[in-house]
Amino acid sequence: MNTRTELVKLLSDAAFHSGTDLGKKLGITRAAVCKNIRRLTQSGLDVHRVTGRGYKLDAPLTPLNRSRILKHLGSAAADFRDRLLLLDETDSTNRHLAELIAHAKTLNGMACLAEAQSGGRGRRGRAWVATPYHNLMFSMAWRFPGGPGLVSGLSLAAGLAVLQALDEYGVDGAGLKWPNDVLWDGRKLAGLLADVQGESAGPTQVILGVGVNGYISREDAERIDQPWVDLRNILGETADRNRLAALVMRHLRNMFQVFSEKGFAPFREAWSSRHLYHGRRVRLIQGDREFSGTAEGIDETGGLIIRHARNRQVFHSGEVSLRPARV
């Protein structure tokens, strides 16, 4: 374990720890403790210092731990042992994984988790804000032999897989917002970003990035421009990110396996049954244009079917964003 990882582990209970005590436990000087704490705060972790008492996190956390994740994976652990990368910090797990697999022989199910992202990416060119060490920042890679057309609907199936992982984790009442946001009480709990690359004749490489809010600090909350919620708000406790990571990995890997054989069809009905806007009046924003209508369902490629008066139009996920109708 490196010093940074050990330091986070010591602080993870969110109790006060003196510089002297931390230094002794880590085998480093107080000045070195101070330097390491500064680096952590530069990564975005809130570490408070109170004279006479020491250092303290604003909320407890569960550090990512490879053997705990593998334990939670149970019988699936063997499939991931050589395919799981845990990082302290990277710019984006999607970008990091893309670079890693450029020369890799094994690729399907390769996964990367990070404690902190300095340039986390969201959909539609937005930044993804996630307080370091408190959230799930995860990517998984898969290669399909066919062209990119074959993977339409994949990001919806992935959203469903993440939702099922959250169900199994113990989150009640979450649902999907087309194309692949996971919402709870109308607020965003998790988001997915699919980076798809391929020639028209194939193969197609998909890097699927997942962000789940475990805990968002007050400072980070101010940088999020949409309603959000985190697991701490929902469950009233510190997220066990190792169990959650294992669940997300297992559900996503299973989804990829089924999707590569059968495409989107086996997911379509289950996806619709969890769509929070099914049958509701919605608005679709496309640049500065806006459409409104009723969300009728999704087609066989994952496109959203909107009915407006007698017209029926299908929208695709790259081009629009969905909002509830104004009341």
Query: What is the contact surface with ligand BTN in residues (CB under 6 A)?
Result: 92-94, 117, 120-123, 126, 128, 137-139, 181, 191-193, 209-211
Cβ(54)–Cβ(21) under 8 Å?
Answer: yes
Q: How far is the CB of 183 from ligand BTN (least distance, A)?
A: 11
Other Cβ atoms within 10 Å of 94 Cβ, number: 25
Give backbone dihedrals phi and psi of 267, rounded to 5 degrees, phi first.
Answer: -100, -15
Q: How far is the CB of 212 from ligand BTN (least distance, A)?
A: 8
Q: How far is the CB of 128 from ligand BTN (least distance, A)?
A: 4
Cβ(60)–Cβ(12) under 8 Å?
Answer: yes
Give strand pairing partners of 138: 113, 210
Q: How far is the CB of 197 from ligand BTN (least distance, A)?
A: 15
Cβ(182)–Cβ(162) under 8 Å?
Answer: yes
Q: Which is nearer to ligand BTN, 44 or 54 (CB)?
A: 44
Rounded Cα gap, residues 14 and 281, in angstroms: 44
Q: Which is nearer to ligand BTN, 55 or 256 (CB)?
A: 256
Q: Which is nearer to ligand BTN, 90 or 272 (CB)?
A: 90
Q: How far is the CB of 181 from ligand BTN (least distance, A)?
A: 6
Rounded Cα gap, residues 298 and 132, in angstroms: 35
Q: Which residue is nearest to ligand BTN (CB)?
A: 191
Q: Which is nearer to ligand BTN, 90 or 204 (CB)?
A: 90
Percentages helix, strand, coil for the chain (3-state, rounded to 5) are 35, 30, 35
Q: How far is the CB of 287 from ligand BTN (least distance, A)?
A: 18
Instruction: Catalogue the active-site residues.
Output: 123, 188, 323
Please choose, from the candidates 220, 232, 277, 259, the residue with its C-alpha nearest in 3D space to the C-alpha of residue 108: 259
Cβ(158)–Cβ(123) under 8 Å?
Answer: no
Please choose, from the candidates 169, 203, 195, 177, the residue with its C-alpha nearest in 3D space to the C-alpha of residue 278: 177
- Cα separation of the two ends of the chain: 54
Question: Would you list the DSSP string of 6-22?
Answer: HHHHHHTT-S-B-HHHH
Q: Which is nearer to ligand BTN, 69 or 137 (CB)?
A: 137
Q: Which is nearer to ligand BTN, 36 or 155 (CB)?
A: 155
Please choose, from the candidates 39, 19, 68, the residue with its C-alpha nearest in 3D space to the C-alpha of residue 240: 68
Rounded Cα gap, residues 214 and 8, in angstroms: 16
Q: Which two tokens stand for residue 289?
A: 């244009």
